């Protein structure tokens, strides 16, 4: 096929609204763009003038899937601005809550948003007739993760116990002990998940790109660390994140794009595993090997397999964290911070990649500056470059297969478009 036009409005089974426009003439790509058409949401503007005690609850609403990560990152930025370091108990509870969010988000994506592609059905409902147990298994794992969010964060989404300095209420030890048994009881479902996903035929395609994630010498970096690029393995402190993340505006998107050493880079599960494979839990490494995920891996479709691997890691890490908490004197903390001016940056790995929040606070504790850089906006330029590389190699396929490969590639990134659309540049006619 030498000429074709693809206009997908809107891409299904991703969070938010985006279109794909591709024009190929005589075998050459004349136009390719991923339109982000969702309205800007102005969360930075909403934060201005609000108390530093309120802002994490506001930024939590940026996303209903990764609300824990937005809340945590916002709190870390404020604590950095105020020069405060939380207790080890608080950090452990935050890590446990993040693990729960990773599991629920990854399972939602691989079971309910991407798996239907492999059966060529329009949604997960199309899988129920012949693969009912597969769907139920995904629901069971996701339910456990949601319940862990509720136990630690106070409810399933938009946590209410997370606050600047500490948790307003810690889970009791008896409930944690009971939940540990529930997590351990899910290992059979995890093993069957690995068996299921290793037998799905992931498209063969490779394009080496720059991979950026947090890295931490002490652990697989999800909660904290420096920013690492696969290009030169250099590390940048979160406070200097703008040296690494260079945003720019394109006409067809209400979300900014980003680049670093090259024209684009990738964040997310595959980037994390490429940069930090050795620090995965041993069971997660076994899962990676069984599902054929090698490192480094340059196939973006394998990001979904990387998400399954991270699910294993987060489940096992949650067991370890609960063991630590059970052996400690866990109790509610009371922290009162002095109100003073400051400037801080928080960086945390969200399920879809590295998330940055930056805040400035005045002497009255009011937010005077806010900047949020979302994982999906960092991936948009790389998605377009992947498509430019992929399409010339699949032009001999039937058009329906071409469209499926394109949609699967976009979905492999697990884009959260609503999170990413937070900017609109307005130019008045008389300016």
How confident is the model over 290-317, as pLDDT tens digits? 999 999 999 999 999 999 999 999 999 9
Looking at the DSSP bridge assignments, the partners of residue 36 are 18, 253
What local confidence, expressed as pLDDT, does residue 423 receive?
40
Domain ranges of the chain: 4-36, 43-419
- Give me the pLDDT at residue 255, please: 85
| Whether pLDDT at 252 is above 90 | no
Computed over every residue of the chain, the mean pLDDT equals 91
Torsion of the alpha carbons at 228, 233, 237 and 243, rounded to the nearest 10: -90
pLDDT band for position 33 (50/70/90)? Answer: confident
For range 65-88, the mean pLDDT = 96
Q: Which residue has the higher pLDDT, 267 or 18?
A: 267
* Contact (Cβ atoms closer than 8 angstroms) between residue 385 and residue 263: yes
Cis upstream peptide for 175 (omega within 30°): no
| For residues 131-160, average pLDDT | 95
Q: Is the pLDDT of residue 327 over 70?
A: yes
pLDDT one-digit tens code per residue, 335-363: 988 888 999 999 999 999 999 999 999 99
Q: Binding site: which residues?
A: 44, 63, 66, 416, 419, 422
Res. 332: pLDDT tops 60: yes
**Predicted confidence (pLDDT) at residue 100 exceeds the cutoff of 90:** yes
For 74-88, what is the mean pLDDT? Answer: 97
- In the annotated binding site for Fe cation, the residues are 66, 419
pLDDT for residue 191 = 98
Annotated binding site for Mg(2+): 44, 422
- Which of 162-176, 180-194, 232-246, 392-406 bottoms out in mean pLDDT, i.e. has the lowest? 392-406
Q: Residue 343 burial (CB < 10 Å; 0-12/13-18/19+)?
A: middle
Residue ranges at the known binding site for Ni(2+): 63, 66, 416
Angstrom distance (rounded) from CA 242 to CA 262: 15
Residue 309 near residue 320 (C-beta atoms within 8 A) = no
Report the predicted TM-score, pTM, of the whole model to 2 decimal places.
0.93
Structure confidence at residue 148 (pLDDT): 97
pLDDT single digits (tens) 5-31: 777 666 665 566 778 888 888 888 888
Say which CATH class 43-419 falls into.
mainly alpha
**For the residues of 417-429, what is the DSSP string, one character each?**
HHHH--------T
Q: Is it the case that residue 1 has pLDDT exceeding 70?
A: no
């Amino acid at each position: 096929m030498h000429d074709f036009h693809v206009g997908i409005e809107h891409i299904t089974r991703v969070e938010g609204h985006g279109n794909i426009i591709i024009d190929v003439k005589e075998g050459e790509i004349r136009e390719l763009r991923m339109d982000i058409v969702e309205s800007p949401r102005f969360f930075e503007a909403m934060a201005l003038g609000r108390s530093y005690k309120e802002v994490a609850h506001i930024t939590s609403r940026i996303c209903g899937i990764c609300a824990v990560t937005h809340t945590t990152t916002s709190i870390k930025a404020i604590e950095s601005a105020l020069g405060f370091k939380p207790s080890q108990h608080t950090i452990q509870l935050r890590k446990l809550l993040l693990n729960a969010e990773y599991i629920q988000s990854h399972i939602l994506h691989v079971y309910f948003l991407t798996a239907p592609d492999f059966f060529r059905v329009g949604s997960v409902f199309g899988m129920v007739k012949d693969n009912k147990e597969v769907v139920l298994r995904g629901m069971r794992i996701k339910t456990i993760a949601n319940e862990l969010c509720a136990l630690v964060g106070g409810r399933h989404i938009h946590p209410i116990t997370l606050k600047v300095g500490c948790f307003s209420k810690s889970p009791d030890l008896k409930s944690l002990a009971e939940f540990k048994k529930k997590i351990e009881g899910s290992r059979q479902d995890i093993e069957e998940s690995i068996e299921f996903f290793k037998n799905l035929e992931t498209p063969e395609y490779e394009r080496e790109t720059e991979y950026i994630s947090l890295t931490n010498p002490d652990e697989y970096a999800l909660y904290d660390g420096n920013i690492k690029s696969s290009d030169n393995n250099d590390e940048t402190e979160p406070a200097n994140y703008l040296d690494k993340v260079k945003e720019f505006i394109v006409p067809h998107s209400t979300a900014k794009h980003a680049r670093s050493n090259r024209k684009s880079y990738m964040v997310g599960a595959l980037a994390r595993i490429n940069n930090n494979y050795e620090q995965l839990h041993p069971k997660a490494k076994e899962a990676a090997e069984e599902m054929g995920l090698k490192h480094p891996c340059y196939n973006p479709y394998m990001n979904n397999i990387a998400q399954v691997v991270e699910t294993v890691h987060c489940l096992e890490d949650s067991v370890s964290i609960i063991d630590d908490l059970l052996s400690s004197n866990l109790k509610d903390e009371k922290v009162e911070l002095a109100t003073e001016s400051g400037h801080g940056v928080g960086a945390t790995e969200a399920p879809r990649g590295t998330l940055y929040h930056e805040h400035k606070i005045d002497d009255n504790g009011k937010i005077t500056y806010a900047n949020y850089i979302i994982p999906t906006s960092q991936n948009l330029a790389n998605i377009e470059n992947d498509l430019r590389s992929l399409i010339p190699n699949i032009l001999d396929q039937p058009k329906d297969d071409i469209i499926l490969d394109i949609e699967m590639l976009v979905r492999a990134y697990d884009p959260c478009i609503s999170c990413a659309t937070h900017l609109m540049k307005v130019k008045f006619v008389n300016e």
